[in-house]
Structure formats: C-alpha cells, structure tokens
Amino acid sequence: MKAIAMNPITPNIEPKPSAQRRGKIAGGFLKSLSEKGARLCRRPAAARCGQSFGLENRNLLRLVEDDTAALRVFQTGSKAILASLLFAVAMEGPVLAQTTNAADDGTVLKQIIIFGRHSIRSATSGTNSLNGCSANPSPGFTWVPVGYLTPHGRRAARLMGTYFHEYLLHEGLLTGDTNTDLAHSYFRANVIERSYITAAEFGAKLIPGANIPVHTYNPTNPYIADPVIDPLMAGVATVDPARALAEIQGVFGSGTNLSSAYSSELSLISKVLYPPGTHPLYPGTTPTNNAPLGSFDPTTQPILLTTNAPQYSTNSTNYYFTGEVIGMGGLSSTISTADPFVMQYAVGFPTNEVAWGRLTLDELSQQTRLVTLQFDICMRQPYLARVQSSSAASHILRSMLQITGGVPLDGAFGTNQPQVLVIISSDAYLAGLAGLLHMHWLLPGYQPDFCPPGGALVFELRQVTATGRYLVRVFYTAQTFDQLRNLTTLSLGVPPATQQLLVPGGSSTTNLDVDFTTFTNLMNAAIGMEYVQSFANEVQPGVLDPYIAYNPTNITASVSSNTLTIAWPADHVGWILQAQTNGLSAGQWFDLPGSDVVNAVVTTIDLANPSVFYRLREQ
C-alpha cells in the first residue's frame, strides 16, 4: 500500500497552501508509511481497530449500514470491479468546555481574543542535525516534514476548539448557528504551516460545520511575513541592536554567568544527549567510547550575549527575524537540540523514546526553563517587547475599541467587528506580547511563563450589566502535558489548565479584572506606534480555499493492472482513509497510515480478499 501526494511542497519553507498544494506532503517518509500500511493490512481484523488508531473513544456520527453507502471493491481473478461510491463518514471527536463561574458574576462577555500558539509539531531541526549532537540517533518524526503540525497536533487543536465552543455557547457569545457565528468571527495565522493548520483545526470545532477562512499572507518567497504578528521580518518595524543589547546586558550581564545559574538544566540535557561513557572530549580531540565522530555537546558551548547580524537583505535593506536580534551562543544551540523532547512526549512517543527514556516528566518540564530564559532575553525585555509586539497589541486594543465604540476601525483585526477572534502564531510572539504588559503565569506541571503547544493568551472584553462599564480579563490557558499526550476529553468539569493573569497597573489587590479605560491607557503607554504600520498602508491578508473541509464528500477509485488508486478532493486533506474486508459492520474498520496527509492512496490488489471496503472519516 502506498500513500501518494499530488504537487508536493518543500518541507522546510512552510508556505501557505493553495488549492493544489494544501497539506500535500511528499518525500521519503511516505515510503515508510506505505511499508507500515502493508504490514497493517496483513494483521487480523481485530488487531486493526482500537487503541492502535485511537478509535475507542470516537463516536460515530453516521454509520454506514448498506453496500450503497461505501466504496466496495470486488476482486475476481486479476480484475477489480468497483461498486458504488462512498459519502464520507464524519466521526465526531470529543467536545470540550472552559471553566465557568458557578454563579452569574454580573458581567456579559462581549468579545474574546485568543492569541495562541500552534499545536504539537515535529522537531524544527532535521534528524541529521540532531544526530550530530547526541550519542544515539534521534527517534525522529518520520511521518511529517520538519516543523510541520503532526496529526496528533491537529486533534489536540480540535480539542481546544471544542473546549472554547462549549464555553462561548455557555457565555452566549456563540449562538450555535454556523452562519451567524462565522459572520462574527475572525481567524488569522502567521505564515507557517503549523500555525494556519492549527487555526483551521481549532476553528472547525469552534464553529462546527464551517469551512474556516484563515487569513494569512500568501508567501511568494521564504521571507514573507505578517506585518502585524512579525513586524521586524515584514520590514514594518526597525530595531537598534546596540540599544537592545545594552538593555539586555543590564539584566543578564554578558551572559557568561548564565551557564552556572542554569547549570542544573544544562547538566540535565547533557546527560540525556550523552550518557556516561559517551561524552565527546573538547576541544578537537577524538570522542570517547561510543560518541559518534564529529558530534558535540551543545551544552558545553559558552553562552555569550551579542548582537546578531541581520538575517537577510533585499533592495539594500536589512531585516531581522523576530527573536533573532540577540545572539545567545550555546543557549540557542542547546535549545534547538532539546526542542524535540516536549513534542515527543506530547505527541505520544513511547516513554523509552522520549529523550531516549532519560527524563522523568518533572525533568522534561524542568529543562524547558532554558526556553523561557531564551524568550526572557530576546522577546520580553522592554525595548524588544515594544519593537516586536506593539503591532499585535495595537490591533488587539483597536479590535476591542470596535466593540466598545460600536464602529469599525482601521488597524483592527478583521473588517466585520468580530466578537470571536483567533490569532495563531508561535510561542515567541506570545512571550513578547506578555512581556509588553509584564504578565506572567504558572500552570500545573509547567515552568513559569512556559508556552505549551496549543496554549493561548486570552483577552476577554466584558460589560458590567448594572452599569454598562467595560472591563478586561486576561487568562493563560493550555492543555496539560498529559491532556496533550492522551488527547483528553475536556469539559466544564475537566478543563484545561487556566489562570487569570495579573495586569500590572490595572488589576487591583482584590480583583484581577481591569477597567477598560485603565486597560486602554496601559496599552497605549506600552505600544510604540513607530513600530506599527500606518493604518492607511495596511493590506489585509487574504484567504485561499478552506484548508480542510468538513462536509462529507465522495471518494473515487481507478484500477490499472493490479493497482488500485483511491482518491478524494484536495480540500479534504486531513481526513483518514479506512478499509476493511469483513463487510460494513461497525468496529471492523482500520485506518490506513499516512492517509491523513495526502488525498490519494495507491494499493496493490490482493486476490486473497474477495472484497474490500473503503471510506473516509474525519479526524
């Protein structure tokens, strides 16, 4: 069996998908998937279902009950006879809800802005690069390209979407009518695959039945950026690297003391990468014992804070990537090498493959202190926070002012005065926005200010019923480590981890809510308008075809010699092809590995099976 993709895209660039390119992934990893699929098809029917494919917790929305509702392939001799086409079977996932107050608190939710991180992705470095910094080969994310959202991450994003769906229905901000709710919502993502697919998956469960229009900029080269989310890379804002470094050195010194301050975390990662007896010797000596030739331990590199050179130039203008103004020496290389560990746990790797089985869950959390240190340096300090996050903050404030003033404003998210806004990017941007307002959090199982996959800063605009006064509540919310790993069904009684945040200068000693006038003044004081694109020059991002459609669809089949090709529309990439040979009874269907990232699967006809049935299911 072979999963195939039409019009493959380059895995390292992460462009916005077109109708031809959306979600289609080609490369060597598909070969391994097809080999796994071939082995799967030889397994007994009973072993094809259940926990291996996560089917035990899925509720069937509409069962196939007769032979006319599925694609059945009759095999006679060397020929296959196709009988009728499948209408896709949608299988509804768990529905989640946010924590709510037991009693009416006298306010009405008027708008919510969810400024979130993408969900679970693969490692951002290739396997060969990672293998150069460890004694053992990296387990790797062989089924998705570098930095792409994983199928597990798609499902986790949907769980967060259903969580907010139930919460906003409870609060009255959503009506339950698809068209009405979509008309009052706005979705946006920065220009990387994992962000806009997270937004699409999240939105599909936030507003069930809708094809979510995720606004993003269509990249014509690798350096296209969202001017609101990433103003440095987009060229909207400019930075003074010397000023940034002077401020940072006023907090962290030259950086040389950070190795001792964070020696526990560096030692922890070093022992994971190189167990006793495998550690390379330095400098330039032959590695000891089992350390691969040419490998090095990034934790031994000095941490020195310097200014970086601009990352790219065009038309004689130099540009920085957000978060890359300051060089951090060994801190950056250590974080890149340890990056896969959290994702390995969250995506469900066997525990002996999560950091090679050398970290407890507490230690896995502890080593992320280096990530929050990195963002403290490159995103949260006052000058860099102002340069890199003013544009996003300005758009959040003006989006709220559209509601309080009742009129549309330039420089806001969306043109329809949306009440539900979902803005998805990466953890660096969340850290920068939080730094601009001096906000901090600590969720169960995580380190202070850590941004887990799928986590979000949530801004709620509320109106006091008795007085009409507006106020703002700010939360940080995220699935816990185990909620991510286990794809836990959340509810009002079993919510994700959520903390209401102190907004310094706005929250009182007895109430974390912030009067909207005070919030406006705080935001205006924090925002540097010189780093925000002129509203008159702002070009709204466009929307291509929906990234993933959720309506039932047909599948098609074609036969050439002894090869069968099953295909479905490109806007249904993300759905999973299932098969079985035992008729149409429930419980006998098994997933075809790799089918969730393509829109066609090729298989060799097995004459030992008199008939085979195929159908699509929604993840």
The per-residue pLDDT for 72 is 52
Token pair 């200014």: residue: 307
- Mean pLDDT lowest for which of 227-241, 248-262, 484-498, 548-562? 548-562
3-class SS at 84? coil
Identity of residue 422? V
Looking at per-residue pLDDT, the higher value among 602 and 112 belongs to 112
CA 558 remoteness from chain centre: 35
Q: How confident is the model at residue 289 (pLDDT cuts 50, 70, 90)?
A: low
DSSP labels for 138-183?
Answer: ----TTS-TTPBPHHHHHHHHHHHHHHHHHHHHHTS--S-HHHHHH
Say how many residues make up the chain. 619
Structure tokens at 498: 């959520």
Cα–Cα distance measured from residue 92 to residue 108, given in angstroms and rounded to the nearest whole number:
30
Min mean pLDDT across 458-472, 491-505, 605-619 is at 605-619
pLDDT at 381: 97
Mean pLDDT of 317-334: 93
> What CA–CA distance (Å, rounded) separates 571 from 533?
34
Pick the closest to residue 213 from 540, 590, 480, 607 (CA basis): 540
Give the model's pLDDT for residue 261: 97
Q: Give the pLDDT confidence of 132-156 residue by residue, as tens digits.
A: 899 888 888 877 889 999 989 999 9
Section 32-40 average pLDDT: 35
Average pLDDT in the chain: 81
pLDDT at residue number 163: 94
DSSP string, 329-378: THHHHHHHHHTHHHHHHHHT--TTTGGGGT--HHHHHHTTHHHHHHHIII
Comparing 166-175, 220-229, 520-529, the range with the smallest average pLDDT is: 220-229
- Token readout for 1 is 């069996």
Tokens of 161: 């979407």
Question: Is residue 535 scored above 90 in pLDDT?
Answer: yes
Instruction: Please give the pLDDT value at position 34.
Output: 36
| Cα–Cα distance measured from residue 347 to residue 354, given in angstroms and rounded to the nearest whole number | 10
Q: Would you say residue 342 has pLDDT above 80? A: yes
Structure tokens at 388: 């890199």
Q: What is the three-class DSSP state of 98?
A: coil
583 vs 214, residue with greater confidence? 214
Per-residue pLDDT band at 598 (split at 50, 70, 90)? confident
Q: 């974080």: which residue's tokens?
A: 335
CB atoms within 10 A of CB 468: 7
Q: Please, what are the domains in the chain?
A: 2-88+554-617 (no CATH), 109-125+149-221+384-535 (3.40.50.1240), 241-376 (3.40.50.1240)
Q: Which residue has the higher pLDDT, 193 or 79?
A: 193
Pick the more confident residue, 617 or 369: 369
Give the Cα separation of 265 and 249 in Å (integer): 22
pLDDT tens-digit readout, 263-284: 999 999 999 999 987 877 655 5
Q: Long-range contact list for 25-32, CB < 8 A, 24+ apart?
A: 25/144, 25/145, 25/148, 25/597, 25/598, 27/145, 29/142, 29/143, 29/144, 29/145, 30/2, 30/3, 30/4, 30/5, 30/594, 30/598, 32/142, 32/143
The residues pairing with 617 across neighbouring beta strands, listed in sequence order, are: 89, 576
**Mean pLDDT to the nearest integer, 434-448:** 98
Under a CB-based contact definition with an 8 Å cutoff, are residues 454 and 116 in contact?
yes
- The CA distance from 279 to 291, in Å, is 6
Question: pLDDT tens, 53-89?
Answer: 222 232 222 223 333 334 555 444 434 444 333 333 3
| Least confident residue range of 165-169, 179-183, 224-228, 426-430 | 224-228
Residue 187 has pLDDT above 70, yes or no: yes
Q: How far apart are CA 417 and CA 85, in angstroms?
A: 43
Pairing of strands 107-117, 420-425: parallel
H/E segment holding residue 612: strand 611-617
pLDDT-based confidence at 103, cuts 50/70/90? low
- Half-sphere exposure of 403 toward its Cβ, with a 13 Å CA cutoff? 30
Predicted pLDDT of residue 469 = 97
Q: Respond yes or no on whether the N-terminal peptide bond of residue 310 is cis (omega within 30° of 0).
A: no
pTM: 0.78
User: Which pLDDT score, from 0 to 100, does residue 32 have?
Assistant: 34
Using CA atoms, how far apart are residues 270 and 278, in angstroms rounded to an integer? 11
Per-residue pLDDT, 585: 65
What is the average per-residue pLDDT within 120-133?
A: 91
Q: Are 147 and 121 in contact, with CB atoms under 8 Å apart?
A: yes
Are 275 and 283 in contact by the 8 Å Cβ rule? The answer is: no
Average pLDDT rounded to a whole number, residues 469-484: 97
Vertex 267 angle, CA 265 and 273, to 5°: 105
The pLDDT of residue 220:
61
Task: Reply yes or no on whether the pLDDT at 597 is more than 80.
Answer: no
Instruction: Assign 548 a pLDDT band (cuts: 50, 70, 90).
Output: low
The string of pLDDT tens digits covering residues 354-372 is: 999 999 999 999 999 999 9
Cβ 195 vs Cβ 217: under 8 Å = no
How many Å apart are CA 512 and CA 501, to the nearest integer?
Answer: 7
pLDDT for residue 582? 73
Q: Rounded to whole angstroms, how far apart are CA atoms 198 and 211?
A: 14
CA gap 289, 304 in Å, rounded? 30
Question: Six-digit token pair at 521?
Answer: 């003044």
